[in-house]
Structure 1
């Protein structure tokens, strides 16, 4: 990665997080370029990270070994079709746009190209994200390493054997932060109804969520075992867990993730046209 030149097409929040992560890992500023239609965003990225910025996508990708497509899915077709005549050599294309398949990207770019499609999530903004990555058949081993290093700059990067599994990644981790936020909302509201001041209920809930996540990440046993260890027979935790389960908690979670995965597949079909 230290000798690679990376161009970002789009310099929004996720691109900015990746750039910040790369710079923190020691990639020099002159190895990174970015383009964005917004003058204010270009100025902000240049000031924060010391990189070259461009209004023109074609200028940004000159000499790039890696081109990161970080634009909204709705404009990806237009952006790729305009980029196609300006792509020299055989740079790795990394797409972080939800719902755009490798086949659609190849079609819009006009030729088979090495493409890695990935699904990061919003905690990447704090470099605590997780991404599912899929490489098409044109990607070399060295390019796979580049893509993994790129996404590892903002968290955990996990490879997928099948592109269709991106929909499952979207359901589990891409959309996942919102599920935890919903639980945090609900627990805070419940604590308030039990008589706690809202601020106290919120702080108790947030710190509990953080502590539980850290315990699960650091543990050598799975979440089910951790749950059993804190659930005393006939105790308070068991009373709550039984109530969750009586309400069909596990089945509801499965239904929710199924719905998210189905919608991800539908969007891919719509956006790929």
Structure 2
């Protein structure tokens, strides 16, 4: 993306943990001038020292963008210090889970354009996916700017309503943890069948990683890919009979898990 507008007025990154660091690395690699970036973080990581960005220094009065990347429980203490930037000239992009657009309006005032986003942890390797939704003050240009910034760490999709964010959080935001647990349990099952732990884990990681990439790149949908690898009466069919059981398999288990995550997201947003 063209970083000129940001470079001229500056970008403030509030919080530079794993997700903030991943985004910052993507922006710098994409050509954002380090001198235009202002990081606020009480415990900055050592790698920031070599990037050329400003860390915990003076801030521009009206930067082009403020990216809020602190944990939700830190929001109450962190965001009010930027309330003076809520006059309408600065776009706020938030990746804080559970913090609603209404909450931003209460803290920043009604004139601040805000884009709420939900990325996920594969952003750390540029393979994330982020869903975004803007408030009434966010223009098409604001949404485009937010999308360009978030595209530095993966794909970006736009939502029609903020209420969809809880489902997004439950599917893609929390989803990597479900996949990591699948890898854990698949490897453990291999050990139970006689494989050495290191070999079982290597097989599980490569299988899940490769299958995920194939699912993204193949012309067929995942259901057809499943059929392609399943011979009638074969080994895969035997396993799928267990995993696809309507009462105890994935069709029953995953909806329960996703609903639990979505319900918790709604609770946190109140």
TM-score bin, normalised by smaller chain = over 0.9
- SS at 1:117 equivalent: strand
The aligned counterpart of 2:48 is 45
Give the one of 47, 56, 62 matched to 1:54.
Answer: 56
Asked whether the equivalents of residues 13 and 69 of structure 2 are also in contact (C-alpha less than 8 Å), the reply is yes
Contact 1:9–1:35 (Cα < 8 Å) also in 2? yes
CA distance in 2, matches of 1:229, 1:104: 48
Give 1:74 deviation, angstroms.
1.4
Counterpart of 2:173 in structure 1 is 174
Question: Shift in Å at residue 80 of structure 1?
Answer: 2.4
What is the 5 A alignment of 1:133-212? 133-212=132-211
Note if 1:266 corresponds to 2:259: no
In the alignment, structure 1 segments of 5+ residues that lack a partner are none
Question: What runs of 5+ residues in structure 2 fail to find an aligned partner?
Answer: none
- Give CA deviations for 1:49-92 in whole Å, capped at 9, x if unaligned: 2211125xxx3343410001111211212322232135565110
**Contact kept in structure 2, 1:84 and 1:108, CA below 8 Å:** yes
Deviation at 1:173, TM superposition (A): 0.6
Alignment partners' CA distance in 2, 1:148 and 1:86: 21
* CA RMSD in angstroms, aligned pairs only: 1.5
Aligned pairs for 1:17-96 (under 5 A) are 17-38=22-43, 41=44, 43-47=46-50, 49-54=51-56, 59-87=58-86, 90-96=89-95
Partner of 1:250: helix, strand, or coil?
Answer: helix
TM-score, normalised on structure 1?
0.92
Q: Distance in 1 between matches of 2:11 and 2:166?
A: 27
Distance (Å, rounded) in 2 between the aligned partners of 1:121 and 1:88: 30
Aligned residues, how many? Answer: 263
Shift of 1:43: 5.0
The TM-score, its normalising length taken from structure 2, stands at 0.93
Measure the CA separation in 2 of the matches of 1:61 and 1:103.
25
Paired with 1:18 and 1:221, the residues of 2 have a C-alpha distance of 31
Instruction: Give 4+ residue runs of structure 1 displaced > 4 Å after superposition.
Output: 86-89
Who is 1:253 aligned against? 254
- Secondary structure of 2:269's partner? helix
Contact 2:88–2:111 under 8 Å retained in 1 = no
